[in-house]
């Protein structure tokens, strides 16, 4: 079973200990090197807080469960502040190869809600495996050059 960033944004975050609503998912912070969700951003603006993926006890179709409100924390550094501000959202970013070729715009990201592992990026009508993900920042998502479409006039041998 997979979920996607587009479907998950706006989903309620609920504390198991109080059964209270602690906010809603607004953004995701992805660790591109490990191809996993590092944290979920709850709320927006200066009131945005993060929940480390390790503190998520359940990620269902109706709600995200955390042990208690103590799981929410403020951003700890500039990267987390940028994530809280939505500047690191992968959805809507340009997709570039490491050679600088434009692939389009990231339309969605699918992930395993049990582990937080990113499965694939949807770029137009292409599904690009997460194994191609090299980096993600405020300007673009960078993918391996192997994701470049083959050129009919390219006489070089493709990398294996």
**All structural domains of the chain:** 3-84 (2.30.30.240), 94-147 (2.30.30.240)
User: Is the separation of the CB atoms in 23 and 13 below 8 Å?
Assistant: yes
Per-residue pLDDT tens digits for 13-53: 999 999 889 999 999 999 999 999 999 999 988 889 999 99
Cβ atoms of 122 and 107 closer than 8 Å: yes
pLDDT in tens, 98-124: 999 999 999 999 999 999 999 999 999
**What per-residue string of b and e applies to 91-107 under the rule 16 or more CB within 10 Å gives b?**
bebebbbeeeeebeebb
């Amino acid at each position: 079973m997979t979920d996607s960033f587009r479907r998950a944004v706006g989903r309620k975050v609920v504390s198991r200990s109080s059964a209270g609503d602690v906010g809603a998912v607004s953004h995701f912070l992805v660790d591109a090197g490990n191809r996993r969700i590092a944290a979920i951003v709850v709320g927006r603006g200066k009131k945005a807080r993060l929940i480390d993926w390790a503190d998520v006890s359940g990620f269902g179709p109706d709600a995200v469960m955390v042990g208690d409100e103590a799981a929410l924390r403020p951003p700890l550094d500039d990267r987390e502040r940028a994530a809280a501000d939505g500047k690191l959202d992968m959805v809507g970013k340009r997709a570039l190869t490491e050679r600088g070729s434009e692939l389009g715009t990231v339309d969605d990201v699918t992930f395993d809600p049990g582990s937080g592992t990113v499965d694939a990026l949807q770029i137009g009508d292409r599904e690009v495996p997460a194994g191609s993900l090299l980096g993600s920042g405020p300007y673009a998502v960078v993918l391996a050059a192997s994701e470049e479409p083959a050129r009919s006039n390219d006489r070089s041998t493709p990398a294996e």
